[in-house]
Structure 1
């Protein structure tokens, strides 16, 4: 027992020490740009392999702990190229896991599978799929923001068991060599569970998702490019009205301010090739370009219109378009008399979003005429009685369906109700 505890202590000591030290060392090298960008993935992989081998030499079985600790530390550091490393890791994981499955399966003979060809195996499979795995998922997600139906779906399409398959192949063969009774069942049983769940879950995942109501039918999320104070005000209002909003900006200060407000925001470059692959943006259906650069706004609409703006893509009008209302763009936002500078000047004096009840279409048009004359009032949305929000565009300001119960949502100074008849 004493020897086992000493060995376990050595594993913890070397695993945590190597993982923590090399993680900060690699982070330092990356931040200082000592490694050329095109060699970043190769160098990172080489360091991981080095940590694994060196730690394992000094304390047997500590290599795996060292690289796990290294990954955890790197994942929580502010690395500029973390996304690229993650994409490389995902590609590498798919490749290695596929190879590992093939190698492990090569150790299984048909005669081994015939050993478990009975009703007891079927009972075990059912217990794992419908009892054991759901219990594990619900316990591990306790306290998370996942809904009950989402947890059920995760239970159905849960982990495939590559770790279990690897351990079973390793220990099963060793126990079999030592003549332990029942050892011949370990490896084929684990592979049967892995194979069965893969076939069952992969063929039924879509139907189960529809049945549980977790299938994404419509992309209703709103992606806002630019996280300025104006964007944060608009995003906060949309979030309060139960809309999924994500802010993107390459300015860290803007993103930090957005996160302090409880908004979902991320540092990203719209010119990056990886933005379109971000899984966190898979439910985006509306695109709003609200940066201070007309060129960036136009670029965003042109590049990401089909990917993130299937329900609508909009941008602020430029200073030139604002002075030429006859050539107003169809994707123009809010008002043809307000560009980014005017919007920022308005919210600098009146940093708030307001709502005002609408009586009919005529009343709405009267309010729009007032906003065209007052630079400190900017109309942004029409809110329907059922809570649905319609974006006001600079191209077409008319809403024929407006009646009692609708609201005009606007930025800046509040309307002087005494002037509205």
Structure 2
């Protein structure tokens, strides 16, 4: 490998991860920054030239990367979600896809001047709604109820459908007559569905057997699973073009919904790999954009983008939800959620090259038009979806509620105090006595084993922003923290000090930091020390601090033995959790929730 190639590959990775960090830091859609940096690195500065860097490996690299991304998407789908939303999802990936395809093709023909075959291909490419954008948006918005499941399922399943549709349209454009074209389309659909489903399920079954019988050592689990994904894609795609994306999606869904073996470690590995692949792919694809891409931005192309957002998507959603039980706010949100992502970018790049090889004179138009749609939809939906969801009552801004794992008497008293301050709380416990205690205090409670596989599907996390694991079992607390850190974020997951034996606990008995949440309240506040304080008469007190009675005055009154628990703002807007690594100084205007002696 030459030095220039090494610099190019390192630059792609560095730019991609750097863009992801900047997007997180400034709360921006990451794809916008990825496209911007890729464009600057490519046509603007000439630093990156993917065609020279990768040569003939460009298309295989893009295809394999997209297959891994879709496999990871399939791993996030739960069939149990379809019990309530299955009909709507089915309509969106059938009726909605057909309407989007045909209407987009008509607009492309009349507004962009594309010939009929190129317009139909563009329409097929743009039916996909990118899970690479929708996933982060849903994590940010956290919509309540069923609407999140609908958007997630549609975004992931649409991608292989769009890929297969694009292949069929491409083959039809090369056919010599209507009869031949019709036969190719029908045969192609049948082959793609049967081959994609068959290969995906077969490879998933093989992997499950290998894992269940311990024929793969632990250190090879991730490597073998990645190899199997590539194998599924390659075999299926070799038998029927672009059916490989369907195969890997089906493989992911099959693995996610079986109970024979645990695949959580595989999911975590793929999530990390997905971020790297998405970041690198967008940099690579944006770097291939023509330098004169702004020449393609004109009134007609902008009108095309506007109609996709304001006419085509609402029409597709309305047609797909006519007889559904979705209420108007849910339909409105669904109609305003169709960003395009990495799959659309990859498909347009692949088929533009194939069209050029076939001698199509309009092949060069596909890439700039598609990237205009990607950039426009990501900007519009990415910046407006959260405010819209809150306005429609489908999401809460900056959720500050607390999920308590463990509903002992003192945990319920702390939860009641937080609730009095205007914050949402939810108690989860498997002990009937604790459940009864919470109910008597009027607290919302859910009886379940927090480590159950299905618990995440049953617990309503609307308005919940923090996890507080306060059971007497340190291992359960740690596992609960691991269970929820991907949902709520590592910084929002807390557990009591894991040194069950208190001050005399041995260091070798303490659970490793990377396997637990942040230490709640402080290193000395174990379950047993908290229980002892309450048994000796300690009470939970809410103290509104003022200029006349500040924190120093509070300490003077209650002494050093008072345990600060939370700081609250006005109207439930801000909740600060005291932790070993976070000991804020209360200020006038805040309310301090603390544990003080009752004597």
Superposed pair shares fold, TM > 0.5: yes
Change (3 A) 1:259 1:100: closer
Summarize the alignment of residues 371-382 of structure 1 with structure 2, pairs less than 5 Å apart: none
Query: Would you say 1:277 and 2:459 are equivalent positions?
Result: no
Q: Which one of 354, 374, 386 corresponds to residue 194 of structure 1?
A: 374
Deviation at 1:53, TM superposition (A): 1.7
Summarize the alignment of residues 283-322 of structure 1 with structure 2, pairs less than 5 Å apart: 304=517, 321=532
Tell me, yes or no, if the aligned pair for 2:200 and 2:249 is still in contact at 8 Å. yes
Q: Which one of 222, 225, 230 corresponds to residue 432 of structure 2?
A: 230
Query: Would you say 1:73 and 2:254 are equivalent positions?
Result: yes
Deviation at 1:194, TM superposition (A): 0.9
Q: Which one of 202, 207, 219 corresponds to residue 38 of structure 1?
A: 219
Summarize the alignment of residues 386-397 of structure 1 with structure 2, pairs less than 5 Å apart: none
Deviations 1:135-160 (A, max 9, x none): 55677788999875566556556433
Deviation at 1:27, TM superposition (A): 1.6
Summarize the alignment of residues 304-383 of structure 1 with structure 2, pairs less than 5 Å apart: 304=517, 321=532, 325-326=535-536
Change (3 A) 1:139 1:74: farther
CA distance in 2, matches of 1:249, 1:222: 11
Deviation at 1:9, TM superposition (A): 3.6
CA distance in 1, matches of 2:368, 2:215: 49
Deviations 1:177-208 (A, max 9, x none): 54546544322111111122334444555655
2:343 maps to 163
* Unmatched 5+ stretches in structure 2: 1-181, 407-427, 462-474, 541-593
CA distance in 2, matches of 1:179, 1:124: 26
Tell me, yes or no, if the aligned pair for 2:236 and 2:243 is still in contact at 8 Å. yes
Summarize the alignment of residues 69-108 of structure 1 with structure 2, pairs less than 5 Å apart: 69-78=250-259, 80-108=261-289
CA distance in 1, matches of 2:539, 2:195: 62
Change (3 A) 1:149 1:60: closer
* Unmatched 5+ stretches in structure 1: 332-392, 399-421
Range with greater deviation from structure 2 (23-32 or 194-203): 194-203
Deviations 1:255-297 (A, max 9, x none): 77x799x6569xx9543473352316899899899xxx9779x
Q: Which has the higher contact order (CA 8 A, sep 6+)?
A: 2
Change (3 A) 1:155 1:18: same
CA distance in 2, matches of 1:35, 1:29: 6
Summarize the alignment of residues 50-199 of structure 1 with structure 2, pairs less than 5 Å apart: 50-78=231-259, 80-114=261-295, 116-136=296-316, 149=329, 152=332, 156=336, 158-180=338-360, 182-199=362-379
Summarize the alignment of residues 226-265 of structure 1 with structure 2, pairs less than 5 Å apart: 227-230=429-432, 233=435, 237=439, 243=444, 247-250=448-451, 252=452
Change (3 A) 1:134 1:178: same
SS at match of 1:222: strand
Change (3 A) 1:125 1:319: closer
| Structure showing greater Rg | 1
CA distance in 2, matches of 1:145, 1:82: 34
The structure with more helix, counted as a fraction of residues: 2
CA distance in 2, matches of 1:249, 1:295: 23
CA distance in 1, matches of 2:348, 2:227: 28
Tell me, yes or no, if the aligned pair for 2:495 and 2:519 is still in contact at 8 Å. no
Tell me, yes or no, if the aligned pair for 1:175 and 1:183 is still in contact at 8 Å. yes
SS at match of 1:81: coil
SS at match of 2:405: strand
Tell me, yes or no, if the aligned pair for 1:52 and 1:63 is still in contact at 8 Å. yes
Change (3 A) 1:19 1:148: same
Tell me, yes or no, if the aligned pair for 1:221 and 1:284 is still in contact at 8 Å. no
SS at match of 1:278: helix
SS at match of 2:292: helix
TM-score, scaled relative to structure 2? 0.42
TM-score, scaled relative to structure 1? 0.57
